[in-house]
Amino acid sequence: MSSNATVTRLCASSVDHTQRAPVHLMPCEIQSNGSAQVSQFFTATTKDHKSEKTVSFRGRGLKGQELSCPQGYTGLVLKEVHKPSSDQEDRTVRVSSVFDKLTYWNLETPPNSDDTVVMAMDWPELAEGVRVLAFILLH
Amino acid sequence: MDLKPFEENNSVSCRLTSQIPDVCKTEDCCLGIDEAGRGPVLGPMVYGICFCPVSKKEDLKDLKVADSKTLTEAERENLFEKLDEAISYIGWALHILSPNTISTSMLQRTKYNLNALSHDTAISLVQYALDSGVQLKEVYVDTVGPAEKYEDKLSQRFPGIQVTVRPKADSLFPVVSAASICAKVARDRVVKGWNFPEDLGEVDVNYGSGYPNDPKTKAWLLKYLDPVFGYPQFVRFSWSTAQSLLDTKAVAVHWDDDEEDGEKAAQRQNNRSMLSYFTASAGSSDHNPSHQTHRFFSERRLKSLDTL
Amino acid sequence: MAAKKKRSPNVDNDSWVTIAADSVVDAQKNDSDPTFVRLRNPSTGAASLYVLGSGDLQLYEVKAFEEDFHSWFIGQTVQRDGRLVFITPMDPLFLIVPCLSKSAKEGTFQPLDQVVMDEEFSACSRLLKCKSALASLHHIAEEKEVETLKFYRFSQDKTIDWLKKKVERTVTVLKKREICVGEGVKSTTYVRVKPAADHQEEDYLRYAHGLISEYISQDLSTALLKHLGLPQLMSPKETEPPAKKRKISEQPVEAVEDYTKFNGADFSRKPLKKMTAAQKTLAKVDKTGMKSMSSFFSPKVKAEKK
């Protein structure tokens, strides 16, 4: 854990020249960080039936659906390019890709509104409710 | 045999059928069932049925059909042509179980083993023949498992039909030999012309017999192993050959049901929301042991972070 | 079949999937970059991660959706860490309240920059740059102007009023989003008896109160509940499940480890700074047999727990 005094700078200008990338939330832990042939193996074999998507990964059947970022929100993938050598140093993260929707996948179960990640998307709007100052609301 | 319906989407299973001869709808018929491609780690498993009037059994013998395994590929192709031409009294139907179906079924949360899958496929084909108006009286089945139990199962499922389940039925009953030829021809053609849905460019088709002990097959499996995705859907992930190669050469992947036995998996399906509710606050990283996150957050698996 | 590989800890994570309010990276307004900082969480007292927007004008909180067995595919890469991090705007007053209320014990009006600070979390004083916070301080404090200088004194009554409005606003959003606030399990297999309308209204209020309590101290939470006209629950079974009940304890929690650094756990913790003479005297008194004030408000379950 880094010291309470250190900060992590989010290099915001990096957003401008960032590519959009499709993002998939997988229902398994893949013990790897780095490149993967996602379009060749995954995207190429994904089937679309109305709003439900199907694919398989490592021989297991997945069902998925797209989920949009809440209004006023953008998906940002942050990447730490250079890890500081000590936990007393400030850190910097850059935006490595942006997205406005993600696809989440369930293992075998059809996606539905009770899925936790769908419910988690309630949070930004509720956070807005908790934040907004009372006097603005009293029309 | 038009394989197009399967080739358009070889991720899922597919049924291919001949026309139903009119005579099969009016006369008592016999039907044989056999499978092809049970053992290989590559490609589909094909179930075949062949049927004809009981009165035409001798005609079938005259075609000199025999156990497909004793025939060369050319002989099988040749015999299939003859069967297909005898449309006036012989009908057939095939069910192609795609390797992806085999993988996902066998690796399902609630495991669906190959025997159950085979039996269900056989039953669905017999039912297809009945639904098409074939006057079935006798059914002959080749089996690799215990014959008696399977025979009882089929007899109960199809009352009024005399069911005979025998090991090596494909060499004992010509109608089973005919079914085995249909299945084997389809399996060979599908494997030969496999259309990889993955974007792999030119794929080396020198994958040998597809049996796990074939060195060519093994070499192919090594060549096409992807550290993240494992294999193309052409490979049966549920085969121990494929599994053990992945366990040693690919990155580890962990699923929430890794440690579960079948009973637990069934429980999970019934009580999913109950379980998730009770485990909601587990794993919270709150520093304060007496602080319980509000259920709005715990139900959504949301928690505060203290470091990025 | 070869033995399954064991899960190893994910130690070299350097990438995070986030969903952030557009204002966080709104390039037009940026004169400096937003920064992730650690500040004292007003509810737990422990360190939590926040974001201060460009020019420190805006405060955001950072929460992660985290469920076991998830990973990401991002473009042509795989990311083992399957968390989804939300960066949402937050009212900076929530973080200023504990600073002000702490100093309120002295009862005097004080300049902000002497109060809005935390020795442990140096970024705390940057909250004073949040324009919206400065403009709305009157919600939580009395203001006095001496010449050009402004002085503030925490007002619990004002704060409770302000919090009540927050609760009401939260109820509106909860209803709009059709968020299930009823007690019990959200499950298709358990059909809940539909409560009377007023009962449902109380469910909403309690739920919203619980949410707002994530941003305030236990003492304020208790006072707010009273102000909302909601009785303390006699049995936790009636609404929130027992696990969700907060422990209300006046006795200092026995320290198992040295928590002096992160002693945010309990809001009955000793004031970080010097005690007043009266407090010192009180501290020396043998309190055995005395009833603590809060025990009058605390649920009976405490007694049953033995």
Per-residue pLDDT of C249-269, as tens digits, reads: 444 444 444 433 333 333 333
Lowest mean pLDDT among B181-190, B241-250, C72-81, C255-264: C255-264
User: Could you tell me the two tokens for C127?
Assistant: 């909250």
Percent of chain B exceeding pLDDT 70 equals 90
Residues of the binding site of B for a divalent metal cation: 34-35, 142
Q: Are A37 and B256 within 8 A, CB to CB?
A: no
Strand-pair partners of A60: A57
CA-nearest residue to A26 within chain B is: B255
184-243 of C, contacting B, C-beta below 8 A: 185-189, 207, 210-211, 213-214, 240-241, 243
Sign of torsion over alpha carbons C16, C21, C24, C30: positive
In chain C, the residue whose alpha carbon lies closest to the alpha carbon of B284 is C66
Question: Can you give the pLDDT at residue A2?
Answer: 53
Could you tell me the residue ranges of all domains in chain C?
156-245
Q: Known binding site: residues of B?
A: 34-35, 142
Grade residue C4 by pLDDT with cuts at 50, 70 and 90. low
The residue-averaged pLDDT of C195-211 equals 82
Residue A60 contacts B where some CB pair is shorter than 8 Å: yes
Q: Which chains reach chain B with 3 or more Cβ–Cβ distances below 8 angstroms? A: A, C
Q: Which of C49, B303, C166 is nearest to A128 (CA)?
A: C166
Dihedral in degrees, nearest 10, Cα atoms A18, A24, A28, A34:
-30
Contact status, residue C100 vs residue C35, Cβ threshold 8 Å: no
Tell me which residue in B256, B301, B304 faces C48 most closely, judged by beta carbons.
B304
CB–CB contacts below 8 A, A to C: 220
pLDDT for B270: 53
Region of poorest pLDDT, from A47-61, B112-126, B277-291, C222-236? B277-291
Structure confidence by residue, pLDDT tens digits, B23-63: 999 999 999 999 999 999 999 999 999 999 999 998 888 88
Q: What is the pTM of this model?
A: 0.83
Task: Give the minimum alpha-carbon distance from A50 to chain C in angstroms, rounded to a whole number.
Answer: 22
Q: Please, what is the Cα angle at C215 between C126 and C260, to 5 degrees?
A: 70
Of B198, B228, B299, the CB nearest to A32: B228
Q: Which of C28, C85, C21 is nearest to C58 (CA)?
A: C21
Query: What interface predicted TM-score (ipTM) does this complex get?
Result: 0.93
DSSP labels, A9-77: EEEGGGGTT--B--EEEESEEE---EE--IIIIIGGG-EEETTEEEEEETTEEEEEEEEEPPTTEEEEE
Coil, strand or helix at B205? coil
Give the C-alpha separation, B25 to C270, whole Å. 92
For chain A, the first-to-last Cα distance in angstroms comes to: 45
Interface of C with A in 173-192 (CB under 8 A): 173-174, 176-177, 179, 186
Which residues does chain C have within 8 Å of residue A137's beta carbon, measured at their own beta carbons?
165, 169, 172
Which tokens hold the place of B20? 């139903």
B304/C63 CB distance under 8 A: yes
**Are C115 and C152 a contacting pair, CB within 8 Å?**
yes
**pLDDT band at residue C274 using 50, 70 and 90 as cut-offs:** very low
Percent of chain C beyond pLDDT 90? 44
